[in-house]
Amino acid sequence: MVKKTKETKEKKENTVDKKAARRTRRANRAASVRLLVRFLRGSRGFFVASILISLVAAIFEMINPKIISFTVDSVLGDKKPALPQFAIDAIEKIGGKEYLADNLWVVAIFVLIVSFILVILRYAQNVLNSRGSQTLVETMRNDLYEHIEHLPYSWHMKNQTGDIIQRCTSDVEMVNAFLSRQLVSIVRIVLFIIVAMVFMFDMNVRLAAVAAATLPIIVAYSAFFHGKIGPRFRECDESEGKLSSITQENLTGVRVVRAFGRERYERDRFERQNNEYCSLLIKLCRIFAAFWATSDLISGLQVMLIIILGTVFAVQGDMTTGDFMAFVSYNSMLIWPVRRLGRMVSEMSKAGVSIERIRYIMDSPRESDKPDAIEPPMTGDIKFENVSFSYDGSTELLHNVSFTVKAGTTLGIIGGTGSGKSTLMHLLCRLYDLPPENGRITIGGVDIADMKASWVRRNIGIVLQEPFLFSRTIEENIGIARADITKEEIREAARIACLDETIESFSSGYATVVGERGVTLSGGQKQRAAIARMLTQKAPIMIFDDSLSAVDAETDAKIRRALGEAMGKSTVIIISHRTSTLMAADKIIVLDRGRVREEGTHDELIAKGGLYKRIHDIQMANIDVDDDNVNEEAKETTEKKKEAVI
């Protein structure tokens, strides 16, 4: 009894799960259709016009077999012409059947005229369809790119670049191919089948019934293969996305790969993924091969039956020779559209997977501000109040962090790797939004969560720990933060960042193209270019996130002196592993495992003898190491560097 009750309960749960799954599939299909309608907003007119022209072309396509049937049965034979009255009147005006029998070239002219009209209609259809197709692709790419640019920073951290590119290229092309080459043809094909079947049934009901019998068979096996193709294509698409990610990573990080001699390892990694992708693609091709082989078999059998039975009927006198020839023509014209319907079902499987992958991007929530978000002055004090934070539910990285940065002062932040230094700045710039229950960050007493994100970022200049340069000229990279910037302002920013002389030493100067991710520049040059770019922003708050780690101590000191002169009343936050970089800061906080362990000026922290002093002593000891073994000139140089640092 208990066992039966348990089985009944499981059946009910399975039924509920199946119903929920069906509702989910219906909801997904509806969402996909809405997205397609949205993408079609600029190309809908082209596709509608293409469909209308194709309908006219389908009607004209039916005329030539009728002309041939009329010629064989009525012009060369004695059968009464089964033509509309206006056509019979026109034939009588030019001399009747006798004239046409003596001048068959007139019939040939009619066939050529119909064929020429068909050529014009097909040309117009293809032009309109191509315009619609390219407009659709343009709209899809623009919408995707615009949406991706407004997705949260956290979304980009969770999704691989290669996979995103795959969705914006291959998947877009797949959807476009289905809409422009397949879906647009459905109306034309359906009308073509209906008209052809009407003509065929009018000629011979039994033979037309044989031709029509293959239609449900084709639909049935197409639906069967539809269920097989979809999942396989999804696997192929996802595997290709992984392959694209590996390719993108290796091309971007080619210097790292070569520096560590990892070419063989990365090649093997690429080959493994490529083999997996090819294996999945071969399995998909096998399904397609079975699909088309089945289609060829059924179509071949249908044509064979039509020819055999049609010949028998013609010999028995059940249909005329002209009707038989026209019937075979209509059947030949019918076979390919019917097979196209089956092909559309298979293409629908692939397009369905692609639109779902695109919909994943378009359905991802965009970064948004509160409805009443404001743009307050950004010149006040910066306060972190009991801030705690973790990335996507992982272990908490920041624990109840609180400190204040007075307006117009410089704050130094130091701490070990993973202590949360960069995370604090990501939160301040709203690259990540701080949940309300995890504390708050204010500027001038206003919570940054109540401000427009664009306003916050426009007024906070930041040099990230890993500077990114675009594959453009140095001048374009430095001036990218402002549309109205002048060349003089770019040069001034480069001078402050101690980069001007280096740029002038290049053969093309400021017109030097730096290569993808600034690959042609050294680490220190990239950092200085990023500093110059940030300075052009003229923001009231400036953040340097370990942005001088790749320059030597002497250049570090020069840049800091120049920055001190240029920053004026800006509030400055400097993150560094070097105590020498932070010595002149108005206040320094020491982070340790996500908590503020110490806070004060350089001298105060040294006097406390805590963690900061230990870090400072270790770094100073490293500077002085082996002083006894160096010559007097080297000692003097070291002392000058120390003085410059201080």
Residues 601-644 have pLDDT tens digits of 999 999 988 899 998 888 887 655 444 443 443 344 334 433 43
CB distance 562 to 598 below 8 Å: no
Amino acid identity, position 20? A
pLDDT score of 646? 31
Q: Does residue 283 surpass a pLDDT of 80?
A: yes
**Is it the case that residue 429 has pLDDT exceeding 50?**
yes
**Stronger pLDDT, 640 or 336, i.e. the higher one:** 336
Q: If you average pLDDT over residues 317-341, what whole number do you get? A: 74
Per-residue HEC secondary structure of 578-637 comes to CHHHHCCCCEEEEEECCEEEEEECHHHHHHHCCHHHHHHHHHHHHHHCCHHHCCHHHHHH
Q: Distance between the two ends of the chain, CA-based, in angstroms?
A: 86
547 in the same domain as 510: no
pTM for the whole thing? 0.69
Nearest by Cα to 170 from 250, 242, 246? 242
Give bridge partners of residue 596 from the DSSP assignment: 591
Looking at the fold, whether 414 and 435 belong to one and the same domain comes out as: yes
Minimal CA–CA distance to 448: which of 398, 543, 399, 377? 377
Do 162 and 248 form a contact (C-beta atoms < 8 A)?
yes
Specify the pLDDT at position 3: 54
Backbone angles phi, psi at 499, to 5 degrees: -115, -15
**What is the C-alpha to C-alpha distance for residues 355 and 332, in angstroms, rounded to an integer?**
34
Range of the structural domain that residue 609 is part of: 369-459+539-618
Residue 200 near residue 62, CB atoms below 8 Å: no
Q: Using an 8 Å Cβ cutoff, are 129 and 43 in contact? A: no
H or E element that contains 234: helix 205-252
> Average pLDDT of 558-572?
75
Q: How many domains does the chain have?
A: 3
- Do 236 and 342 lie in a common domain? yes
Closest C-alpha among 366, 350, 365 to residue 171? 350
Q: Counting beta carbons within 10 angstroms of the beta carbon of residue 494, is it exposed (0 to 12), middle (13 to 18) or buried (19 or more)?
A: buried
Same domain, 523 and 547: no
pLDDT of residue 518 exceeding 80, the answer is no
pLDDT digits (tens, 9 = 90+) for 18-47: 677 777 778 878 888 888 888 888 888 888
Q: Please give the mean pLDDT across all residues of the chain.
A: 80
Residue ending a domain, choose from 489, 514, 537: 537
* Predicted confidence (pLDDT) at residue 376 exceeds the cutoff of 90: yes
Is residue 352 within 8 A of residue 334, CB to CB? The reply is: no
Q: Does residue 593 register a pLDDT over 80?
A: yes
Within this chain, do residues 478 and 608 fall inside the same structural domain, yes or no? no
> How do 571-575 and 410-415 pair as beta strands?
parallel
Q: Is residue 309 located within the same domain as residue 435? A: no
pLDDT of the residue at 632: 44
Residue 47's identity, in one-letter code, is F
Q: What's the whole-number mean pLDDT along residues 59-77?
A: 74
In this prediction, residue 587 has a pLDDT band, given cuts at 50, 70 and 90, of very high
402: CATH: 3.40.50.300
State the pLDDT at residue 216.
77
295 pLDDT exceeds 80?
no
Residue at 151 is within a domain: yes
If you average pLDDT over residues 355-383, what whole number do you get? 90
Question: pLDDT above 70 covers what percent of the chain?
Answer: 84
In a domain, 589, yes or no: yes
Query: Sheet of 440-443: strands edge to edge?
Result: 398-405, 382-389, 440-443, 446-447
Single residue among 517, 537, 557 that ends a domain in this structure: 537
Predicted confidence band at 411 (pLDDT cuts at 50, 70, 90)? very high
CB count within 10 Å of CB 521 equals 23
Question: Does 20 reside within a domain?
Answer: no
Name the residue type at position 560. R
Which residues contact residue 457 at a Cβ distance below 8 angstroms, ignoring those fewer than 6 apart?
Answer: 429, 430
Same domain, 448 and 392: yes
Q: Are 89 and 143 in contact (CB under 8 A)?
A: no
Mean pLDDT of 63-81: 72
Last residue of a domain, one of 305, 332, 363: 363
The tens digit of pLDDT for each residue in 256-274 reads 777 767 788 888 888 888 8
Residues 554/644, Cβ–Cβ less than 8 Å: yes
In a domain, 37, yes or no: no
